[in-house]
Chain A
Amino acid sequence: MSVRLNPDLRNELVRFGIGDWNACYHCGTCTAICPLSEEGFLFPRKKIRLMQMGLESQLESSVEPWLCYYCGDCTKTCPRDANPGELMMSLRRYLTSTYDWTGLSKKFYTSEVWELAWILFFAILVVISFLVVLPSFGYQYTAELTPEGGVKVNSFAPIPIVEAFDWIMALIVASLLISNIIRMYYKIIWKNSKTKVSLWVHIREFWLLIFNFAVQPKFSKCDDKRYWLSHWFLMSGYTIMFIVIVVYLPWFQTEEILPVWDPQRWLGYYATFGLLFGLTVAIIGRFRKKDVKFQFSHISDWLFLIMLTLTVITGILIHIFRINGMPMATFISYIAHMAVLVPMILIEVPFSKWSHLAYRPFAVYFTQLKKHAVPK
């Protein structure tokens, strides 16, 4: 069966950061050098070809871009300076937008104004909530300190309300991500008219999801292991923080100053360290532009780093100000923290760069399913 080209796809892909895609003349050096490319899942060359031709449906059903962790070896060895690594990165952005049924992802990726406006909108909502809405219900800032000399955080940020809000946010994000993953599954596995995958295979391979999420073994196969390590610190820090904020908020956001050996303290410190370490490596990398993976920064790459860094810094400030009894400083940094965190979670996680936390492990899972697919 023949596939119709979409000649206008190139104009669209350019907006996702694809540069000079016609430079590639298909020598296949990139595919040969890639430690992750394997029989049946060959990239980057094959994907570049689909891109060049505008084979939209083929591209949308590709799982390969998610199997690339951007070590940059392909770009370094490309004889035509076609930059296959960045082409794969751009494809991941494009795929994220095709999985998203709301169409917002495409908007955010292709329009900086649109993205910044929404971030600002959510930030303002947060500020209004803390300055107007919550005080009208009696939750307001107080200069009073706890007997130990800590700040009374719960007075302006009541745990039940923040926790309820956390859960609502988590549910929204989760439902968006899950529905998008279903769409991803439909495009990659279900729509394939030639092969089918048995239910048993689905169940048997499911454990891969958790394993891949926790360890990222694919990433560690890249020749340069440093980025796997820094990414792992960032990811583990983020995950711990996410869990304690959403699931264990009453335990985490205490007014009481717990001893340093309490898990609340050291888990928080580890998560902060992990996040800071990963972020520092990425930010310095993107400034130095020495490694291929950091040479080309799309606006979404920078926004992701800036917002996460601001979240971490304001989080650290809250902690310092709180245990040192500085109520106003704590109040301001708490609002700032939430004003960055909320839009970051609502925009970046389901619609932008952060969605990869879901798509990557699922891509490995789907790859495994494809390997065990049988002809219909």
Chain B
Amino acid sequence: MEEPRIGVYVCWCGTNISKMVDVEKVADEVSKLTHVVIAKNYKYMCSDPGQELIIKDIHGHKLNRVVVAACSPRIHELTFRNAVEKAGINPYLFEMANIREQDSWVHTDRVEATSKALDLIVAAIQRVKYHEPLQKRSVTVDPATLVIGGGISGMAAALEIANAGKKVFLIEKTNQLGGQVAKLDLTFPHLSSAQQLIQPFIQGTENHPNIEVFLNTEIRDVTGYIGNFKSTVQMAENENIELKFGNIIAAVGLKPFDPSKIEEYGYGRFPDVITSLEFEEMLSKGNILTKYGKEPRNIAIIHCVGSRNKKYHPYCSRTCCMAALKYVHEIRACLPSANIFEIYADMRAYGKGHEEFYALTTHKQIIFLMYDQQEALPVIRHANKNDNCNMIIEMNEKLSGESIEVPVDMVILMVNMEAHDNVKEVVRAIGVSLCGNQFFIEKHPKLDPVATTTGGVFIVGTCQGPKDIPDSVAQARAAAARILATIAQGSVAVEVTTACVNENLCCGCQTCVRVCPYGAISYNQEKRVSEVNEVLCKGCGTCGSACPTGAISSKHFTDKQILAEIEGIMSMSFKGA
């Protein structure tokens, strides 16, 4: 190994770092360490002049390793890797010390913060000495895409990709396209027809030359990796077709909650206690009638059925409040003098136009009654003969503090959206993970909401979490754009910092095969050793820490590198103490 010649650069980050860390002193101290050729401080290392400074020093001082002490590597690691690469050094011969988030922002004592900065930088210096050059790799991308689910999200994504001239296979487990939106009458907050939204999508999808629709079809197994997936789908006539595709969009949606689980509401016992979807069907048919064929005089709409309740689902379904307000407009159009009760837990109007829609609806002569989810749910019982109504809802009204009885003829339950029963099969097939609420987990909740930790697999619509039509369609089109970008590139970069197996040390216990969250490790029966599929591997390191013989190491996270880092962090202040 050639002698390390390290350049260290301490960033001020304006005053973000420099006000709490004595950057000059830090640079001065580290310049005295062995292998450190040069140590500098600069106001903004990430700026063009900052990067130029590094590049110039690499050339001028013949540096072969670089350490930048600045912000989180999440923000600028790539910036500096690109800078050192520009100067002719392998980008992995670089290390970043985070002295902002981990130091200057969280401390109040300048002396101690300065000493901590020094520790962090020395750790990076010790680590970078053992860095090895790694080579970037990429795989080709099959231009076809598999979309799982023929609801509005799946179709929106399929159409976006197909319209760009690329092939789409769309599989739908039921016998028709449209999903939940096809079951709705009007949509909020514009009260536009759901059919007018969904029908052009269905026709467009069915007739598109680039979209191949497979109805009554479910996904079983998917093999391969980003850019090169394979799956066999079973058609209705027991005919198996093998499909090849480069990317996957999961748009499997959610299903309505079964309210018969909630004893208090008596769904199933009372014929006129119906779910929101049953009411949508009634509205589509054009008349609101009780099971006895009468027009209801008093209609109650119960919110949060199965939502925001520890006993059922802790999360908010997001669409029910506005849908419940939408019913007010639809009921008023049919039955102008009916009494409408909105029995809610909290009114949530978070979306664009929702608050305005709520304000508009409050003028529709409705009675809002609030219940406390944590205390007790409203209870529905039969009315007596002389009550002049069908049922009575007994509840503790939160805003008045009164125990009240509400006379009703029809009750609409705003049912929660929950995961499909067989969601785990889909999840296993495409290699994504589920959160506690059985929603698909995105790669990053804010910055990468449609991708997953598995390359080439995207999640859109309600399977990622309850959402309304605009959000679902936005996600679908976003995922389509991401996929079209990789198709246009023709290839996609894959992770470099993967695990690798030292076959001489591997004992064939297959612990790594079991712990790998990405299915990237397989067992070679012939050689009796584990093998890593470097395209699937994300370099998480789980296998490395589980391996009993130390046969697996992660590139860029070798034992040597990590031990050197620990030694480095202990060397300065701890030695002094």
Contact = CB atoms under 8 A, between A and B. Distances in A.
Given A4-B404, A8-B339, A55-B402, A22 B368 contact: yes
B339 A3 contact: no
Contacts of B309: none
Contact of A53 (B362, B363, B404): B404
B365 interface: yes
B397 A53 contact: yes
Given A10-B367, A52-B368, A2 B399 contact: no
A58 interface: yes
A7 B404 contact: no
Interface range, A side: 20 to 34
B403 A55 contact: no
A20 B407 contact: no
Nearest to A1: B403
B19 to A, nearest CB: 41
Interface string A81-97: 00000000000000000
A41 to B, nearest CB: 15
Given A3-B404, A3-B405, A22 B399 contact: no
B406 interface: yes
Contacts of B406: 5, 7
A23 interface: yes
B400 interface: yes
B366 interface: yes
A1, A10, A22, A55 pick with most chain B CB within 10 angstroms: A22
B401 to A, nearest CB: 9
A47 to B, nearest CB: 10
A20 B361 CA distance: 12
Contacts of B339: 7-8
Contacts of A22: 362-363, 365-366, 368
A372 interface: no
Nearest to B361: A22
Contacts of B9: none
Q: Chain A's interface: helix, strand, loop or mixed, by majority?
A: mixed
Contacts of B184: none
B281 interface: no
Interface in B360-377: 362-363, 365-369
A26 interface: yes
Contacts of A373: none
B407 A5 contact: yes
Contacts of A46: 400
A149 B405 CA distance: 73
Nearest to A14: B365
A2 B402 CA distance: 7
B62 to A, nearest CB: 69
Given A2-B403, A5-B406, A26-B399, A52 B367 contact: yes
A80 to B, nearest CB: 9
A57 to B, nearest CB: 10
Nearest to A8: B339
Nearest to A54: B367
Contact of A4 (B365, B366, B405): B405
A286 interface: no
Interface string A240-265: 00000000000000000000000000
Contacts of B365: 10, 22
A54 B394 CA distance: 15
B407 A53 contact: no
Contacts of A218: none
A10 B363 CA distance: 12
A292 B93 CA distance: 75
Interface of A: 1-5, 7-8, 10, 20, 22-23, 26, 46, 49-50, 52-55, 58
